Chain A
């Protein structure tokens, strides 16, 4: 029995308290978001808030069950569970129910299960299992590749559903690899190219080119601190661009300006690269190379978008980026969302007093746009509190992860942290209009059983591993 007592004593109750606080905030927000005069009781199970309560109780039971489970179980069942989840992801393509043009749900006796939610958990476990086994060095390309396959195999099937939002979440695992020793440059490049992909579609080509060139020189200057060299490089670069433009003016004046500029910029960068290699300035060479890669990548994104994608795929990406032509489409949603949050003011309108979310101006207000209700009814004060709570949770989890003695627990912990972080940033960023609309839920707050369960299980497995950290496993 002493082990059992030990367990309860070793659990990080602070995290558990934060968790409880969050799901209650979520529940109350859902109540307020879909409040209905005819169903005033928050326990009314015909309404979403009543249903959410059932999900919450079930989630607590599942969480408790996770805490009772032996630590070894997670370790040994990581791979089988991962395999099973992949199987489910494939099965849902054929047997799932279609919701919003996406084949991503299983319907079991009225209960809807979304395998993609559990794929995050399975991937976290499998990644932790893989990376923690026998001193695998992440610098070994083969190990890195295998880790990449573990992370991106589910993405493949989730994209087929297609559920772009859920599949993007898996990029968060790069952060875990970084913590385990992946080069900082790779992390930087991943972030850079992610941002570029979105910008390439958002911005017009010439601005994009200017931005790329500008950042490259500024960052070169920042890295090397050599103003003269950077200045010379700028001169050489623009000299090349102008030569190319003149050449076109003389021989082929009809060529599209964009094409001229791409050729000019790529040519200029190539010459810089050659010069840098010749004079053995490695910093400069790297930057010139990066510049070329960035230009080509940016334009290939555009090219793929314009020429390779099917119309329906394009329109889906357009919707994701908020380019929907329909004025009542996504940009409308973001406007409504901003009005709701903005109208909250410093202190908010008060519980159940929000008009914007009440009047159904905001879409998906109990799921993806739940933050609107909080922002409108609790104002900036409420937003600040929620952000503080999230940051507290993330930092607390980092603290817990760092005190683990087993690699498995630490890697798993960071996976949980990274997934939470990604969800929080994308979801809130979307509601305040700084991130494209990607429909993923706000952890513990948004309405929905699948996501609540998945987040709860992820968190509680980590808490359980943490509670058992003294009886070290490897």
Chain B
């Protein structure tokens, strides 16, 4: 039927013809003119070999290599290209049996006749050298270079984490991973996976019927080179890390050392640990289940995940809060008769001269003093109720990074616990609880629990006189900036003016005069400030705790040490911290006798070093 516009059928026809003609010309070039697309013989095939990138290297803060890559080779098979071959010789080269060959080829066939499958994973360079010369006898097989992680220093397993092949779940969740790819599973390998992984590439090779690579297809026109992962530098100091791990041998616990001025983690030890190379390559699965079954739980990163009572070390925070809230000043003193008794409740203290003001109370760790100021705080009429007073206290505590994840750059951190008023409401009934019922919080016991990294960070905040940087393990990264959040100060709710009396107390606890709790930590000239603690452990012997920093002015290192079941803070945790601080600040250790004593102490096999100190 004709209408006004029926001529447009021709224009539409032209519109159809135009792209089709263009396609035909394009196809003519592609298929006929351009010789590069034609294969020389029909029997030649192209082989796509994935180029796996090397993961980025990992260095410590002084440029020492912590993690590198070693070459290994995966033997691949394409069932459709297989020809009969001498299975005996093949099995002998690879040190496998014929059953293995049959079952792997069957599996590969089931997957795909024409796509390559992994036949044997991670052949060593040595075997590869032998195999390569004879590979022409085995059409359908080829070798795929891979790399595995290698650890020149046998340290920092928890920090570094490990790498494994992606599983089905990861592939469905993250579509840019495919079968056979590696991914960081824990630690830094996991946190910085994006930077470390690099980018896969592909090489297209021409392969003749004899399984020989005839060269790159079209001079590599379709190749995409693999991009090596970015190297990263950690803030860990390998020497200190190694020393810390050595000191913690045969002990259970954790050491976390932080540079207060930056929040960089100098050392993060969780004991017992494991050898990082155990979780590399083919042996990983077996070793992993062995480690996972170990009753001492070496895979558990205590530095980030163990919940401990804060212990007496926490008294310094209560002192700071009391100053800030005007409950005491630095001269307010309390008489200590050796115990704090109200009605039927008694908190025992040890013998020391009395009365004590704040600095002195920190120095001798007087329980009585801290029970007084804690209750005076909660009961202060200006808050209107104990609940309000408690909330003021808890907010101050949280401002030191306790009770929440610090959210640095480590996976699987736990949050610890700063109790909420609602917890006591549930327990005692709303507004039915009194400061006396909470008094164990005054000395760092009770419902308060912390992780070692939180304690180290809290110590850094004290060393900085009122602020901290989120603790992090990354110092720098090749071709990228580190997270800006790591360069931002987090202020505590305590004004800087209140820190001096507390720090004076911590200084005296280590350096005297007359009887501090941590005299064993003293190193002349280093001005170490510290506070011991003994975290009550309902399941066994108490945990030995120490927090400290040095030097007093312009602190370079803040540290927290937890040694499980090691008793008094002064006997084990304080000397460990002191040795690490000395090593870090001076580069050597002057007190061999102390070092030997720590090294020989064994809390795993219950051979406890003789201790003549009885302090807390």
Interface residues of A (CB under 8 A from B): 36-38, 101, 175, 178-181, 184, 325-328, 332, 335-336, 338-339, 341-346, 349, 353, 355-356, 358-361, 375, 379-380, 383-384, 387, 390-391, 394-395, 398, 401-405, 410, 414, 417, 421, 425, 428-429, 432, 434
Contact = CB atoms under 8 A, between A and B. Distances in A.
Interface in B106-137: 109, 112-115
Interface string B141-181: 00000000000000000000000000000000001101000
Contact of B16 (A178, A342, A375, A394): A394
Contacts of A341: 27, 30-31, 37
Given A326-B199, A395-B13, A402-B9, A181 B27 contact: no
Interface stretch (B39-47, B55-63, B298-306, B550-558): B39-47
Interface size bracket, B side = 35 or more
B376 interface: no
Contacts of A398: 9, 12-13
Given A179-B12, A343-B39, A425 B19 contact: yes
B352 interface: no
A3 to B, nearest CB: 23
Contacts of B34: 342
A36 B114 CA distance: 9
Given A179-B5, A421-B16, A345 B202 contact: no
- Which 6 A-B pairs give the minimum distances between C-beta atoms? A342-B37, A327-B224, A380-B31, A359-B114, A360-B115, A335-B222
A181 B12 CA distance: 12
Nearest to B221: A335
A438 B199 CA distance: 24
Given A327-B202, A339-B222, A403-B1, A380 B45 contact: no
Contact of A342 (B4, B30, B48): B30
B246 interface: no
Contacts of B26: 432, 434
Contacts of B202: 327-328, 332
Contacts, number: 133
Interface in B2-33: 4-6, 8-9, 11-13, 15-17, 19-20, 22-24, 26-28, 30-32
B281 interface: no
A325 B199 CA distance: 9
Contact of B201 (A36, A327, A429): A327
Most chain-A Cβ atoms within 10 A of its Cβ — which of B1, B5, B217? Answer: B1
A179 B37 contact: no
B46 A355 contact: yes
B434 interface: no
A345 B38 contact: yes
Contacts of B22: 434
A380 B28 contact: yes
A383 B114 contact: no
23 contacts: A36-B113, A38-B109, A38-B113, A101-B175, A178-B8, A179-B8, A180-B5, A325-B199, A327-B202, A327-B224, A332-B224, A338-B37, A341-B30, A355-B39, A355-B42, A356-B46, A359-B80, A360-B112, A380-B31, A390-B20, A395-B13, A395-B16, A401-B9
Contacts of B31: 341-342, 344-346, 375, 379-380, 383
Contact of B24 (A353, A383, A405): A383
Contacts of A338: 30, 37
Nearest to B79: A37
Given A327-B202, A360-B112, A391-B17, A343 B9 contact: no
Contacts of A184: 11
B27 A326 contact: no
A384 B20 CA distance: 10
Interface string B269-299: 0000000000000000000000000000000
A391 B20 CA distance: 8
B228 to A, nearest CB: 13
B388 interface: no
Contacts of B217: 339
A37 B16 contact: no
A403 B23 CA distance: 29
Contacts of A401: 9
B597 interface: no
Given A335-B222, A339-B217, A390-B20, 14 more contacts: A179-B12, A328-B50, A338-B30, A342-B30, A343-B37, A345-B32, A346-B31, A349-B42, A359-B78, A359-B114, A375-B27, A402-B9, A405-B1, A434-B22
Given A353-B42, A425-B19, A360 B114 contact: yes
A402 B1 contact: yes
Contacts of A428: 23
Nearest to B5: A181
B405 interface: no
A402 B6 contact: yes
B200 A432 contact: no
Contacts of A359: 45-46, 78, 80, 114-115
Given A328-B50, A359-B114, A181 B32 contact: no
A344 B222 CA distance: 17
Nearest to A359: B114
Contacts of A181: 4-5
B39 to A, nearest CB: 5
A92 to B, nearest CB: 21
Contact of B23 (A38, A358, A429): A429
Contact of B12 (A36, A178, A410): A178
Most chain-A Cβ atoms within 10 A of its Cβ — which of B8, B12, B32? Answer: B12
A432 B175 CA distance: 25
A421 B32 CA distance: 26
Nearest to B18: A425
A471 to B, nearest CB: 14
B199 A387 contact: no
Given A178-B12, A179-B8, A359-B45, A327 B199 contact: yes
Nearest to B199: A327
A95 B36 CA distance: 49
A421 B199 CA distance: 38
B197 to A, nearest CB: 12
B184 to A, nearest CB: 18
A394 B16 CA distance: 8
A380 B1 contact: no
A360 B114 CA distance: 7
A379 to B, nearest CB: 6
Most chain-B Cβ atoms within 10 A of its Cβ — which of A344, A359, A390, A414? Answer: A359
A358 B42 CA distance: 13
A432 B30 contact: yes
A64 B196 CA distance: 60
A165 to B, nearest CB: 17
A356 B42 CA distance: 11
A302 B242 CA distance: 52
A304 B204 CA distance: 38
Interface in B200-225: 200-202, 204, 217, 222, 224
A355 to B, nearest CB: 5
